[in-house]
Amino acid sequence: MTDDRNQWGRPQDDDPDKTVKGVYPPVNTPQPAQPQPVQPQPAPPQQYGPPPQYGPPPHQYGAPQQQFGQQQYGPPPQQFGQQQPFGYPGPNQQSPTPPKSRKPLYIGLAAAAVVVLAIIVGVSVLGGGGSSSKPEDVVSAYLDALTKGDAKKALAQGTAPATDTFATDDILKKQQSLAKISDVKIVDSQILAGTARVHTTYQFGKQKADVTYELKKSGDDWQMNDTTIAVDTNNLSRIPKPTLFGKSLEGTSKAYVFPGPLQWGSENPNFDVKDTKSDSFSTGTGYEAAGSSYPSLDVGLNDTGKKAATKAVTTLLNDCAKSTSFKPDNCPQNAYAFRGVDGTAKWTAPTDLSPLTFQYFGSEGEKVNVSGSLSWSVTYQEKDFNGVVAGKTDPDVSAGLFGDIDMSKDPAVLTLSH
């Protein structure tokens, strides 16, 4: 008898459609699992007993059970009802997407920071939010304004004076006509804690200017500490009605002026006022102008004043010459005629006034002192011891003349001293 067996080594049943259920493996024969690369896992702490399972992949139905001692390829099979460990995918789930790299984010932030920094620098350079001026630029603009006679622009470069009565375009142009600024050079500029010093040189008329200007920070801008010079006018009492560039200084204790020569004067046309420092006027502001704050002035009669004073003397002498008295009241002459007949004197006034000296002391307002000795001529009648009257002439009667001439009056008036 032939022992026919099927492919599983079992006797062949006569009924080919008859199968034994639940005994033999299912129709699809399981194939050995393909080896899968194992991701390196951190070594678990050593324990007694079997190690815990970490994230096994989904169990494949029909896969053969791992035999003890047999090398395992891939993760162990999933046990039914076993809860999937936290952080690992369960059956029929995809592995979580790995976190994206933050490198592009960092690069983007760095690029944005560069852009912001560039904007800040650009705004600062263009003046929007940063300093809109440099100390040396301010000083250059100031000196340029002086040369052009632009008082308003010059004053705008720093602290404004208490009054600009003497800091006008007209006065500035007069100063520049007397001494011009040229060949301006910025030698050095130093900044320290909100202050600055700008060293400059330039030609100012016949003077070689070497000036260091002081500046301070005001908000975003630099401003000069001083754009004008404060001149003390309290000590000008000797000057009859003093003026500066033709403007009255009455009631003024300080006059604020630009650097340069100053034109002093008097409202009285008979006087001249001279600045003894006219050849060394201030060429800058601040410390450079310290010496110019207190003017050194001389005052005296000008040619007009001398003529007016001389006329006042001549007027008095001629009036006195009309007298027939040997010693007229309020007149300088005296004939000393002991035997002269009263009322017979005929005086001839002096014509040579060169011996007279005219001086202005300034202590008595606008009065000029006159002094000197003049020679008169007189003729008169004289009686001798016998009573005989005879004419007599004295060609040289010396008479001193001392008095004050009030130059505030027009015409000037001489008053003799007694």
Q: Where are the domains of the chain?
A: 135-229, 233-280+292-300, 303-416
Cβ count near 256 (within 10 Å): 20
Query: How far apart (Å, rounded) are the C-alpha atoms in residues 333 and 335?
Result: 7
- Could you list the pLDDT tens digit for every one of the 418 residues in the chain? 445 555 545 555 544 444 434 444 444 444 444 444 444 444 444 444 444 444 444 444 334 444 433 444 344 444 434 444 444 444 444 445 555 556 555 566 655 554 444 444 343 333 333 345 799 999 999 999 999 999 999 999 998 899 999 999 999 999 999 999 999 999 999 999 999 999 999 999 999 999 999 999 999 999 999 999 999 999 998 999 999 999 999 999 999 999 999 999 999 999 999 999 888 999 999 887 776 688 999 999 999 999 999 999 999 999 999 999 999 999 999 999 989 999 999 999 999 999 999 999 988 889 999 999 999 999 999 999 888 999 999 999 999 999 999 999 999 999 999 7
Q: What are the backbone angles phi and psi of residue 315, rounded to the nearest 5°?
A: -60, -45
Q: Strands 221-224 and 207-218: what pairing?
A: antiparallel
Query: How far apart (Å, rounded) are the C-alpha atoms in residues 242 and 116?
Result: 63
SS3 of the chain: CCCCECCCCCECCCCCCCCCCCCCCCCCCCCCCCCCCCCCCCCCCCCCCCCCCCCCCCCCCCCCCCCCCCCCCCCCCCCCCCCCCCCCCCCCCCCCCCCCCCHHHHHHHHHHHHHHHHHHHHHHHHCCCCCCCCHHHHHHHHHHHHHHCCHHHHHCCECCCCCCCCCCHHHHHHHHHHCCEEEEEEEEEEEECCEEEEEEEEEECCEEEEEEEEEEEECCEEEECCCCEEEECCCCCCCCCEEECCEECCCCCEEEECCCCCCEEECCCCEEEEECCHHHCCCCCHHHHHHHHCCCEEEEECHHHHHHHHHHHHHHHHHHHCCCCCCCCCCCCCCCCCCECCCCCEEECCCCCCCCEEECCCCCCCEEEEEEEEEEEEEEEEECCCCCEEEEEEEEEEEEEEEEEECCCCCCEEEECC
Q: State both tokens at 228.
A: 């004008």
Helix axes 135-148, 169-178, angle to 10 degrees: 80
Handedness of CA 302, 303, 306, 307 (dihedral sign): negative
> 368: closest CA among 406, 402, 332?
406
Query: How far apart (Å, rounded) are the C-alpha atoms in residues 397 and 65?
Result: 166
- Determine the length of the chain: 418
> 321: closest CA among 359, 351, 287?
351
The string of pLDDT tens digits covering residues 149-163 is: 999 999 999 988 999
Tell the CATH topology of 135-229: Nuclear Transport Factor 2; Chain: A, (3.10.450)
